[in-house]
Amino acid sequence: MIRMVNNYQGPWSLLDDLVSMQDDFNRLFDDRNGVSRFGRRSYPPVNVWQSADSVIVDAELPGVDPNAVEISVVDGALTLSGKRAGELDQAETVHQRERQEGEFSRTIQLPYRVDADKVLATYRNGVLRVTLPRAESDKPKRIQVKAA
């Protein structure tokens, strides 16, 4: 479960990871560091919320330029895609490499049809929030019953 990709053991170690038993335990249950690249778990992790009028999708995308994320809505599904760049190019020596990098794409089925022209996206502290208003044509309508 613990991945130490490229775990460099030099002639002397600059940084030793003090991973406690507690951390190991948590990793077993909260394996959010992912495997190298975006294997096994879908990326990015999302929370989806809904009300009668709109859907909110919060995606954890730390360090990703929000303008470089492609957000598209097709047939009641939201797709987020983009690229997460690594920062290892400026390195002389890589000691530890756990952060995910590379291209990602994830499609989320929405609970109802949305108005693609009114989708709003904000980005704060590495979390992308996409707000998708329900399509007018999809909203439940109350039919007035006329008294006889």
Partner 1 sequence: MTQGTDVLSPERGTVESQEVNRVTAVCTPAVDIVERRDDVLLTVDLPGVDDGALEVNVENGILTIAGQSRLESVQGFEPVYREHVAVAYRRVLRLSDRLNPAGITAHLRQGVLRLAVPKREEIKARRVPISAG
Dist. CA 14–CA 19, nearest whole Å: 16
Dist. CA 106–CA 130, nearest whole Å: 13
Between the two ends of the chain, the Cα-to-Cα distance in Å is 70
Residues lying near partner 1 in the complex (CB under 8 A): 12-20, 22-23, 26-27, 29-30, 32-34, 42, 45-51, 55-56, 58, 60-64, 86-88, 90-100, 108, 111, 123-127, 129
Dist. CA 128–CA 121, nearest whole Å: 7
**Closest approach of Cβ 63 to partner 1, in Å?**
4
Q: Name which of 89 and 143 has its Cβ closer to partner 1.
A: 89
**Closest approach of Cβ 142 to partner 1, in Å?**
20
Q: Name which of 16 and 144 has its Cβ closer to partner 1.
A: 16
3-state secondary structure of 76: coil
